[in-house]
Chains A and B, each alone.
Chain A
Amino acid sequence: MLDLTFETPKPKVIAGAKHDWELVIGMEVHAQVASNAKLFSGASTRFGAEPNANVAFVDAAMPGMLPVINEFCVAQAVRTGLGLKAEINLWSAFDRKNYFYPDLPQGYQISQLYHPIVGEGEIIVDMGPGVARRVRIERIHLEQDAGKSIHDMDPAMSFVDLNRTGVALMEIVSRPDIRGPEEAAAYVTKLRQILRYLGTCDGNMQNGNLRADVNVSICLPGAYERFQETGDFSHLGTRCEIKNMNSMRFIQQAIEYEARRQIAIVEAGGEVVQETRLYDPDKGETRSMRSKEEAHDYRYFPDPDLLPLEIEQAWVDDIAASLPELPDAKKARFVLQMGLSEYDASVLTAEVQNADYFEAVAEGRDGKMAANWVINELFGRLKKDDRDIADSPVSPQQLGGIIDLIAKGDISGKIAKDLFEIVYTEGGDPAQIVEARGMKQVTDTGAIEAAVDAIIAANPAQVEKAQQNPKLAGWFVGQVMKATGGKANPAAVNQIVSQKLGL
């Protein structure tokens, strides 16, 4: 596999009233496993169903119901682990995390505290061309999602929908390797990208299928390096956990606010209290969830309904063999083998559908030219219409056809843009359109010469000026292009104009 080299970004520094401060951030991302059925029941995971329609008696915790694990969800967790270059634990086990809440009918969440299915891995978080942060993954475990409570339908009651109860989640836990709000958002972006490439989570943040808890603490410059050398957390400040954010923008805002709040406390001589906080996007601030603190005694114990989860290395190997090319490898290949800039490669690999489209266009053609057309013309046009690559009216074959016509010299770049617009709005084969509508570039020097002669003859004053100041030759080129409806080959026109004017 190819690798791009990168430099490590500088940590974000926030100026307090007394000193400069740095941030230390660790994240726990909950990613909903893409599956048909739930983790331990045969109920559907489909979003948007009638309330309590996707509920098996296991999910509703009816007495005597027993969980049976969905093997595909296990495979998805393994696949995710392999995609994050993580170690896969062939032996893992499920534990009960006990707490009471109306949307958790079991009274406990089945999770994996002591023996998670996936161990240490890593994510390369891109911060711009040539700059990236290596963030270590501590673990990934499988667990059940809770249901959904709705508080605003009745003044005195909360309404509970168990459709989400028991849907499989992967909790992906990072080490405290993230050093600023932008890095935190970039981390989630990259993780989401990898999950979507793998097909293990759809990454839909709006529906809550990917949400993040962020642990934030502050420290003086230099303290983080001492922590890294020794592994001793006492070099770092006390952390607060901000729960359940489902937007990149909120993640950044919440971290920024939380860091400043902690700095103000410490600089005033106070102490940060370790607690769980909630970000309020309307007020732009985090606030304490004190009521959660008291209940934070989860009394974990091994779930007696479930045997340990034992998987075979051969099965893991089969999953490994089916992994797609992942974003880092694809980007490196686009840069190193196809000659793209890192920026263009990043744009094209952001979504695997974009990368696939680009590769279909670039097949047998110039990579850079294909990248320019896909990014500047196609993406620009799709964005204008708020359309997705999946319903692009221009197929890779059509766009490739346009590029071929330019490469052959049949049409100029300018005409190609007109042609693109025709193909985009009306469809059709580019070569046939060019033929049928007479858009072909005039490379016949005889025809161009005739046009140049006519313009020179009609404009003696301009000829004189241009002969004194050769820069004015451009005027003749423009006139010729106009006279030929933009179809004259610009290079040929330039040459002939210079020649005829005797420049």
Chain B
Amino acid sequence: MSIDLEKAAKVAKLARIKVEPDALPALAQEFNNILGFIEQLNEVDVEGIEPMTSVTPMRLKRREDIVSDGDQQAKVLANAPDAREGFFAVPKVVE
């Protein structure tokens, strides 16, 4: 699989990262290098081998259904560029 300029631009857009047109060729090349490495990994035959999900054999940690967090409106909003009446205020996003 190879990444052309158009694909690189689309990926950037989906990730909401602004990439100037003259930076696209370098970006596409970087993608291709990464994918080239992945393709190399694909040469290893892993037929019938369960994917490894953790380095150590661990069970997914669970929590109990107890309210133990929240009630910190001021802290939650502290880094917001704009907040009003307890809400995050963002540029209008209605369609």
Distance between Cα atoms of A153 and B82 in the complex (Å): 14
Q: How far is the CB of A371 from chain B (nearest CB, A)?
A: 38
- A160-B87 CB under 8 A given contacts A42-B69, A44-B70, A98-B14: yes
Please tell me if the beta carbons of A52 and B88 are within 8 angstroms of each other in the complex. Answer: yes
Taking the complex as formed, is A426 at the interface, i.e. its CB lies under 8 A from any CB of chain B?
Answer: no
- A70-B72 CB under 8 A given contacts A52-B87, A52-B88, A308-B60: no
Please tell me if the beta carbons of A36 and B67 are within 8 angstroms of each other in the complex. Answer: yes
Q: Which residues of A contact B88 (CB under 8 A)?
A: 52, 102, 159-162
Distance between Cα atoms of A91 and B14 in the complex (Å): 31
Taking the complex as formed, is A56 at the interface, i.e. its CB lies under 8 A from any CB of chain B?
Answer: yes
Please tell me if the beta carbons of A158 and B92 are within 8 angstroms of each other in the complex. Answer: yes
Please tell me if the beta carbons of B54 and A56 are within 8 angstroms of each other in the complex. Answer: no
Taking the complex as formed, is A101 at the interface, i.e. its CB lies under 8 A from any CB of chain B?
Answer: yes
Chain A minimum-CB-distance residue to B51: A302
- A42-B67 CB under 8 A given contacts A69-B60, A69-B62, A310-B59: yes
| Max chain B C-beta neighbours (<10 A), residue from A52, A56, A308 | A52
List which B75-95 residues lie within 8 A (CB) of chain A: 76-77, 82, 84-95
Please tell me if the beta carbons of B87 and A70 are within 8 angstroms of each other in the complex. Answer: no
Chain B minimum-CB-distance residue to A278: B95
Q: Give the interface residue-count category, chain B.
A: 35 or more
Q: How far is the CB of A15 from chain B (nearest CB, A)?
A: 34
Q: How far is the CB of B62 from chain A (nearest CB, A)?
A: 4
Taking the complex as formed, is A206 at the interface, i.e. its CB lies under 8 A from any CB of chain B?
Answer: no
Taking the complex as formed, is A51 at the interface, i.e. its CB lies under 8 A from any CB of chain B?
Answer: yes
Taking the complex as formed, is A297 at the interface, i.e. its CB lies under 8 A from any CB of chain B?
Answer: yes
Q: How far is the CB of A236 from chain B (nearest CB, A)?
A: 29
Q: Which residues of A contact B49 (CB under 8 A)?
A: none
Chain A minimum-CB-distance residue to B86: A51
Please tell me if the beta carbons of A160 and B63 are within 8 angstroms of each other in the complex. Answer: no
Distance between Cα atoms of A159 and B93 in the complex (Å): 10
Taking the complex as formed, is B61 at the interface, i.e. its CB lies under 8 A from any CB of chain A?
Answer: yes
- A51-B70 CB under 8 A given contacts A102-B90, A156-B92: no
Question: Please, what's the 1-or-0 string for A251-271, where 1 marks a CB less than 8 Å from any CB in chain B?
Answer: 000000000000000000000
Q: Which residues of B contact A57 (CB under 8 A)?
A: 69, 76
- B93 contacts which of A158, A295, A297 (Cβ < 8 Å)? A158
Q: Which residues of B contact A191 (CB under 8 A)?
A: none
Distance between Cα atoms of A310 and B58 in the complex (Å): 11
| Max chain B C-beta neighbours (<10 A), residue from A37, A150, A162, A306 | A37
Chain B minimum-CB-distance residue to A60: B76
Please tell me if the beta carbons of A158 and B67 are within 8 angstroms of each other in the complex. Answer: no
Please tell me if the beta carbons of B95 and A70 are within 8 angstroms of each other in the complex. Answer: no
Q: Which residues of B contact A291 (CB under 8 A)?
A: 95
Q: How far is the CB of B87 from chain A (nearest CB, A)?
A: 4
Distance between Cα atoms of A60 and B54 in the complex (Å): 26
Q: Which residues of B contact A1 (CB under 8 A)?
A: none
Taking the complex as formed, is A149 at the interface, i.e. its CB lies under 8 A from any CB of chain B?
Answer: yes
Question: Please, what's the 1-or-0 string for B46-64, where 1 marks a CB less than 8 Å from any CB in chain A?
Answer: 0000000110001111111
| Interface residue SS majority, chain A | loop
Question: Please, what's the 1-or-0 string for A148-167, where 1 marks a CB less than 8 Å from any CB in chain B?
Answer: 01110111111111100000
Chain B minimum-CB-distance residue to A292: B95
Q: Which residues of B contact A149 (CB under 8 A)?
A: 93
Question: Please, what's the 1-or-0 string for A284-308, where 1 marks a CB less than 8 Å from any CB in chain B?
Answer: 0000010100010101000000111
Please tell me if the beta carbons of B86 and A50 are within 8 angstroms of each other in the complex. Answer: yes
Taking the complex as formed, is B68 at the interface, i.e. its CB lies under 8 A from any CB of chain A?
Answer: yes
Chain A minimum-CB-distance residue to B68: A42
Q: Which residues of B contact A295 (CB under 8 A)?
A: 14
Q: Which residues of B contact A98 (CB under 8 A)?
A: 14
Distance between Cα atoms of A60 and B72 in the complex (Å): 11
Chain B minimum-CB-distance residue to A35: B65
Distance between Cα atoms of A58 and B70 in the complex (Å): 10
| Max chain A C-beta neighbours (<10 A), residue from B61, B69, B89 | B69
Distance between Cα atoms of A156 and B92 in the complex (Å): 6
Chain B minimum-CB-distance residue to A44: B67
| Max chain A C-beta neighbours (<10 A), residue from B60, B65, B92 | B65
Please tell me if the beta carbons of B58 and A307 are within 8 angstroms of each other in the complex. Answer: yes
Q: Which residues of A contact B14 (CB under 8 A)?
A: 98, 295, 297, 299
Distance between Cα atoms of A333 and B79 in the complex (Å): 59
Chain A minimum-CB-distance residue to B95: A291
Taking the complex as formed, is A109 at the interface, i.e. its CB lies under 8 A from any CB of chain B?
Answer: no
Taking the complex as formed, is A309 at the interface, i.e. its CB lies under 8 A from any CB of chain B?
Answer: yes
Taking the complex as formed, is A54 at the interface, i.e. its CB lies under 8 A from any CB of chain B?
Answer: yes
Please tell me if the beta carbons of A43 and B53 are within 8 angstroms of each other in the complex. Answer: no
- B76 contacts which of A55, A153, A156 (Cβ < 8 Å)? A55
Taking the complex as formed, is A435 at the interface, i.e. its CB lies under 8 A from any CB of chain B?
Answer: no
| A-B pairs with lowest CB-CB distance, top 10 | A72-B65, A42-B68, A159-B87, A42-B69, A56-B69, A43-B70, A51-B86, A71-B62, A160-B88, A307-B60
Q: A36-B65, A161-B88 are in contact. List 12 more A-B contacts (CB 8 A).
A: A37-B63, A37-B67, A43-B70, A52-B86, A69-B62, A70-B64, A93-B53, A151-B93, A153-B87, A156-B92, A160-B90, A307-B53
Residue contacts A-B, CB under 8 angstroms, 20 given: A36-B65, A37-B63, A37-B66, A50-B73, A52-B88, A53-B70, A54-B70, A55-B76, A56-B70, A68-B63, A69-B61, A70-B62, A71-B64, A73-B65, A156-B91, A157-B82, A295-B14, A307-B54, A307-B58, A309-B60
